Amino acid sequence: MGKKVNVNRGIRAEKVRLIDQDSQQAGIMETSQALAAAEEVGLDLVEVAPNSDPPVCRIMDYGKYKYQQSKKLQESKKKATIILVKEVKIRPKTEEHDYQFKLRNIRKFLEQKNKTKISLMFRGREIAHANLARGLLERIAGDVADIGVVEQMPKLEGRNMTMMLAPK
């Protein structure tokens, strides 16, 4: 026998359209008759479409229904791919070894299917040479062209220039 779910407080209408446990239309009937029909088969009366006229109620095992819904939600979460945005910070005067180190990290992030944001930070009068910094970002884009694409071209925002890369 299914547990008794008091769905009557949610059902405000006097008459409801009833769908039985075999998904067959039982017709329009009084709410009390629908509750009695649900008790007769040992299941719960659940309102599935409250906005229709008259509201639609279904005879089902409510606990089993909630369990199946939670399992569907878990399955959809498993299949969903989470894309993170990783950030790499560089400077216009970055030396070659440091550049190669940062490039290796960018490649690793793109191989892991994460978007990568490259932030180039200016200090003092370095901002006067923004064209050199843009060239550095374009060099990075060229070096990772085999595994990534430029999603957002280099853009100057205050004292920072940013560029977004996405995996191919």
Fold for domain 85-167?
Translation Initiation Factor IF3 (3.30.110)
pLDDT, residue 79, reads 81
Enumerate the domain spans of the chain: 15-78, 85-167
pLDDT, residue 3, reads 40
Pick from 61, 59, 43, 47: which is nearest to 15 by CA? 47
Neighbouring residues of 9: CB distance < 8 A, sequence distance ≥ 6: none
8 A C-beta contact, residue 130 and residue 92:
no
pLDDT tens per residue across span 77-120: 888 777 889 999 999 988 999 999 999 999 999 999 999 999 99
Residue for token pair 């229709």: 52
Residue 144 sits at φ, ψ, to 5 deg, of -110, 15
Report residues of the chain scoring pLDDT below 50: 1-9
pLDDT, residue 168, reads 87
pTM, to two decimals: 0.55
Is 3.30.1360.30 the CATH number for 15-78? no
**What would the two tokens of residue 134 be?**
């843009």
